[in-house]
Amino acid sequence: MPMIVLFTDFGSDGPYVGQMKAVLAQQAAPETPVIDLLHNAPRFNVRASAHLLAAYISAFPADSVLLGVVDPGVGDPQRKAVAINITGRWYVGPENGLFDVLAARAMAAQEKVTCWEITWRPENLSNSFHGRDLFAPVAARLARGEMPPGVQIDWPVSVAAANDLPEVIFIDHYGNAITGVCARNLSPTACLNIGEQIIMRENTFCKVTEGQVFCYKNANELMEIAINQGNAAHELGLSIGSRIGIHQ
């Protein structure tokens, strides 16, 4: 039984996620788990969101269906609706770059990436809530093992999209600053710097004293800047988009 995983910028406490889940509850098989991965993906920032999604999705089963909506161009009729299969997992959403990092990395690894443009449209399609009206029904259908009406298309993803993003891409609840730098691309002794400030590297929180700034490979294998029992983003003045350096 596949699960449906939600990744949006809708906000977790507003009225949008529930409406989308009502569609999924009606149209997916009743026992399909629907999991909220993130509903505060960086707003209007598809690039940071794409790097976050690429890191987080590996925590989910290989046959998950990912429904992803982070869209600065809401309601653009020119924008295609796509269902992309990357290494066996389905990704559904607007074609706007959210899946590019994943796809470019899969292609670089010689894995299979295929893209369908979804031509199916619901009877009632609002101008502004395609997540509910279009993408949720498509995700439900894919989770049932059916292919919605569509045509396979070429999908020219830039090779450069596979590269790390040396920026802060998320600030979590603790104030930890997650970067778009994959730990596997660094030497084990490399650390990060913010301008002139070198951020020492440790394995985890309990290795540093309270109040100490450090960076570490987080549980999704991204380099993250934290303060033990403190708020790194606040203390260091970091926000989404802050540039990060790599100090070999």
Binding piece for its own copies, criterion CB under 8 A, among 4-12, 101-109, 142-150, 155-163 = 4-12
Identify which of residues 56 and 99 has a Cβ nearer to its own copies in the complex: 56
56 binds its own copies, rule: CB under 8 A: yes
Q: Are strands 65-69 and 191-194 parallel, antiparallel or unpaired?
A: unpaired
Cβ-Cβ contacts under 8 Å for 223 (sequence gap 6 or more): 179, 181, 182, 183, 186, 192, 215, 216, 217, 244
Identify which of residues 133 and 164 has a Cβ nearer to its own copies in the complex: 133
Q: Which of 117, 198, 205, 247 is in the footprint of its own copies by CB under 8 A?
A: 205
47 binds its own copies, rule: CB under 8 A: no
Binding piece for its own copies, criterion CB under 8 A, among 99-107, 124-132, 145-153, 179-187 = 124-132
Q: Are strands 165-171 and 177-182 parallel, antiparallel or unpaired?
A: antiparallel
36 binds its own copies, rule: CB under 8 A: yes
Q: Which of 5, 84, 142, 177 is in the footprint of its own copies by CB under 8 A?
A: 5
Please, what's the largest Cα pairwise distance for the chain? 59
The two tokens of residue 35 are 């999991």
Q: How far is the CB of 94 from its own copies (least distance, A)?
A: 11
**Calpha distance 92→148 (Å, rounded):** 11
Q: Which of 87, 111, 121, 172 is in the footprint of its own copies by CB under 8 A?
A: 172
Q: Which of 152, 173, 196, 248 is in the footprint of its own copies by CB under 8 A?
A: 173
Q: Which of 87, 114, 119, 126 is in the footprint of its own copies by CB under 8 A?
A: 126
3 binds its own copies, rule: CB under 8 A: yes
Q: Which helix (H) or strand (E) holds 234?
A: helix 232-236
The interface with its own copies within residues 137-166 (CB under 8 A) comprises: none
**Beta-strand runs (E) in the chain:** 4-8, 34-38, 65-69, 81-86, 89-94, 113-118, 150-153, 165-171, 177-182, 191-194, 197-199, 213-217, 222-227, 245-247
200 binds its own copies, rule: CB under 8 A: no
The residue assigned the tokens 């609002």 is 126
- Bridge-partner residues for 199, per DSSP? 192
- Beta carbons of 103 and 157 less than 8 angstroms apart: yes
| Count of chain residues binding its own copies (CB under 8 A) | 62
**Calpha distance 143→216 (Å, rounded):** 36
129 binds its own copies, rule: CB under 8 A: yes
Which positions lie near its own copies, rule CB under 8 A?
1, 3, 5, 9-19, 21-22, 25-26, 30-31, 33, 35-40, 43-44, 52, 56, 59-61, 64, 72-77, 126-129, 132-133, 170, 172-174, 203-207, 216-220, 229
